[in-house]
Amino acid sequence: MSGMILHLRADTVSLVVDARDLPTVVHWGAPLGELSEEDLVTIADGVVPPVANNAPDVPVPIALLPSARQGYPGRPGLRGHRDGVDWLPTLRLISVRHNGSTATFELAGTVRVSSTVELSPSGVLRLRHVVTNDGTEPYVVDGVEAALPVPAQATELMDFTGRWVREKHPQRRSFDPGSWVREGRRGRTGHDATPAILAGTAGFGFRAGEVWAVHVAWSGNHVTYAERVHEGRGVLGGGEVLTSGEVVLAPGETYESPWLYAAYSAAGVDGISSAFHTWMRARDTHPARPRPVVLNTWEAVYFDHDLDRLRGLADVAARTGVERFVLDDGWFRHRRDDHAGLGDWYVDEGVWPAGLAPLIEHVTGLGMEFGIWVEPEMVNPDSDLYRAHPDWVLAPGDGTLPPPSRNQQVLDLANADAFAYLLDRLDELLRDNDIAFLKWDHNRDLIAAGHGGRPGVHEQTLAAYRLFDELRARHPGVEIESCSSGGARTDLEILARTDRVWASDCNDALERQTIQRWTALLLPLELIGAHVGPPRSHTTARTQDLSFRVATALFGHFGIEWDIASASAADQEALAEAVAFYKELRPLLHKGMLVRGDHPDPSATVTGVVARDSAVFAYAQLTSSAHAVPPPVRLPGLDPDRRYEVTPVFPAGRPAVRQAGPPDEATRVLTGRALAEVGVRVPVLMPEQAWLLRLTAT
């Protein structure tokens, strides 16, 4: 630290913050090594921009909390007012606390702001602002957003869009002057939400180029943006989207912005993923034990909860090697389809006259854990709960209800009575039954979501976090999956409270190749639920070979969602072999480094996981190629000076090929450098087929 200039360092990144005025990042990028006090001053002074014609007569900084009061022409970091006055926040720096990799800046003026910046050893940076109303009149918070500048060489943007059963598809554009703003106003993270905005050097890929990325860790309404102001400077930022009047601070009250997470990579998108995966695996809350093989009953039985049929399914699951059996929707009162019952969280006596115990005891007696589906935040109007408490739903406050969606409304968790009811029902369910896992769903957007006549999404999100936290405190051994009609609640704040996400309601392996590939941008594979679906997809009607479905599900937290009791004996045997293969590879898949090749043919992908002495790669042929023969497949991320045995493996049968002779299945031995630069031959695969390679260091 030099006066008020800070240098936060990790092996892969440096952050230099000039705090001689409002805290401003002067460098976020490549590591700068040891810097003297004089060096820091020189760097900070050297990046102050010249004054342009027809601009303010003094340089305008881009602060961590960008300030319109200083003349910044882009998105202001703090927006608010006191009944129409104090609309232009005036702040001054009053103190700096610096302890290792964490710095906190205290600002005072119109309100009090505490800005915290933390840099982890993996290179993940996070920052947030805490606003306190230290005045005598209420202060309306309209927005609080954190920002990080990116250098001029970041000329391209990547973010993501999607929909139900087609989440997290990338889109690219030039980083031109103006703003690229991604707002989520669905009351949950959203199927169409971008997990991050990435800015990078021209043509950046998985393994090449400099990349800067930001992610807003918030499960409610949010904004992530990239902005290039007219002077040419670029900024990435984001925060919570607040509806007018949603947050009004009484004197002494505080608002905390969501954490804005960020990472820099000098080695492409994989470097961003490596930073986040390393950071997540170092958390105290990260799942410690091997991720059990899951069988979820949804696409096996749907609402047909017949005890004998489920016992039979459990018998086959146990023989196959399944370790966790999850009973999906349909176990509670009045739930024979998706039109009724949500909110009535009592075991349906008509379907389960002896309760869930007969099935649970059968499942656990076979050596498997038992899990169950819940959707606590939702209610069907056709339910005993709604008939008794119609006032417990989020509504605009004008005597009407929000438009129905999936035959559901949303329970107002900020209503103390509704919160207590849900906590009591879930607590009793877990207390009275041997349940190791909750599949926690959230199947609709929050529309016209009011609480007490005011906007309610902010308080709903915080209340949902409290419900997760209280339930986990009471039942610390129970794991929870964040499911939101698939991948519509996938963010780092919900993952502070859950043990995995359900990446998509789509089990079509072709769709899953893209969904899982980009869900893994931030999340390590062990947190991404990935199941082998039935031969004919429930959501797309495609038919796919078992080998392709297995090869896809291997790159995640492996499971099954299929009526395997009705599968052929050959398929059951092949699936059991695949489960055994997953268990053998589990330490590698869930502790190794994810790598993705920049393959020249857009019809195919290359994905691998690399550890010190071993690796596994999948070459997936997604569609027909424009070329008759695939090029050699280069395998990145290996130790260049070690030699590896490379062997094709077939855990669930051989893929279909389109070539004159049988595929070459010989084992080869090559250095990591040769495998990365020259590659290996793969067969001419039919579309929707995969070629798996197992590598062992010699």
CATH code of the domain in which 639 resides: 2.60.40.1180
| Secondary structure E strands in 543-613 | 557-560, 593-596, 604-610
Enumerate long-range contacts of 227-232, CB under 8 Å, 24 or more apart. Answer: 227/74, 227/75, 227/178, 227/179, 227/180, 228/175, 228/176, 228/177, 228/178, 228/179, 229/72, 229/73, 229/74, 229/177, 230/73, 230/177, 231/49, 231/52, 231/55, 232/152, 232/177
Average pLDDT score over residue span 401-413: 97
* 518 within some domain: no
CATH number of 444's domain: 3.20.20.70
Residue-level pLDDT at 49: 86
**Same domain as 330, residue 267:** no
Work out the average pLDDT over 122-140: 98
Residue after which a domain boundary falls, among 258, 281, 304: 281
299 shares a domain with 277: no
Averaged pLDDT for residues 255-278: 98
Tell me the average pLDDT across 6-28: 96
Pick from 453, 476, 502: which residue ends a domain? Answer: 502
Checking DSSP bridges between strand 557-560 and strand 294-296, what pairing results, if any?
Answer: parallel
| Residue 52 pLDDT | 87
Distance between first and last Cα of the chain: 47
Residue with tokens 């005025």: 21
**488 three-state secondary structure:** coil
Note whether 679 and 634 are within 8 A (CB): yes
Token digits for 512?
């899953």
Residues 168 and 76 in one domain: yes
Mean pLDDT within 97-103: 95
Which one from 445, 491, 505, 545 is the annotated catalytic residue?
Answer: 505
Side-chain half-sphere CA neighbours of 525 within 13 A: 30
**608 plus 478 within the same structural domain:** no
Instruction: Based on the residue annotation, tell me whether 83 is a catalytic residue of this protein.
Output: no
Query: Is pLDDT of 1 > 50?
Result: no
The answer to whether residue 662 sits within a structural domain is yes
636: pLDDT confidence band, cut at 50, 70 and 90?
very high
Based on the fold, state whether residues 624 and 666 are members of the same structural domain. Answer: yes
Domain-located, residue 527: no
Same domain, 100 and 185: yes
**DSSP codes joined into one string, 5-71:** EEEEEETTEEEEEE-SSS-EEEEEES------HHHHHHHHHHTPPPPPTTS-SS----BSS--GGGT
Residue 2's pLDDT band (boundaries 50, 70, 90)? very low
Q: Which of 441, 499, 508, 545 is catalytic?
A: 441
505 is catalytic: yes
* Backbone torsions φ then ψ of 279, nearest 5 degrees: -60, -45
The enclosing H or E element of 669 equals: strand 668-671
Domain total for the chain?
3
Q: Tell me the chain's radius of gyration from C-alpha atoms.
A: 27
Task: Find the domain containing 111 and state its range.
Answer: 60-281
Lowest mean per-residue pLDDT among 45-49, 529-533, 541-545: 45-49
Question: Does the structure show a pLDDT above 90 at 55?
Answer: no
Under DSSP, the state recorded for 380 is -
Q: How far is CA 621 from CA 504, 523, 624, in A?
A: 21, 24, 7
Question: Who contacts 501 (Cβ-Cβ below 8 Å, separation ≥6)?
Answer: 481, 482, 483, 487, 489, 490, 494, 495, 519, 523, 527, 528, 529
For residues 449 and 456, give the distance between their C-alpha atoms in angstroms, rounded to a whole number. 6
Same domain, 261 and 333: no
Task: Please tell me the distance from the alpha carbon of residue 153 to that of residue 232, in angstroms, as a whole number.
Answer: 11
Residue 274 falls inside a structural domain? yes
Residue 340 lies in a domain: yes
Is residue 681 assigned to a domain?
Answer: yes
- Do 305 and 238 share a structural domain? no
330 and 258 within one domain: no
Considering the domain architecture, whether residues 265 and 364 belong to the same structural domain is answered as no
pLDDT at 231: 85
Label residue 112 by pLDDT band (50, 70, 90): very high
DSSP, collapsed to helix, strand or coil, labels residue 440 as strand
Mean pLDDT of the 4-28 span: 96
CATH code: domain of residue 136: 2.70.98.60
Domain boundary among 231, 258, 281: 281
User: Can you tell me whether residue 177 is helix, strand or coil?
Assistant: coil
In this structure, what token pair is assigned to residue 632? Answer: 């050699």
Count how many residues are written for the chain: 698
Residue 195 lies in a domain: yes
Query: With contact defined as beta carbons under 8 Å apart, do 168 and 198 qualify?
Result: no
- The DSSP secondary-structure symbol of 389 reads -
Residue whose tokens read 């599900």: 553
What per-residue confidence (pLDDT) applies to 684? 98
| 311 and 240 assigned to the same domain | no
> 460 lies in a domain?
yes
Q: Judge if 619 and 676 occupy the same domain.
A: yes
pLDDT tens for 503-525 read 999 999 999 999 999 999 999 99
| Mean residue pLDDT across the chain | 97
Q: According to the model, what pLDDT value does residue 139 have?
A: 98
Mean pLDDT, residues 55-78: 92
**Average pLDDT rounded to a whole number, residues 532-553:** 98
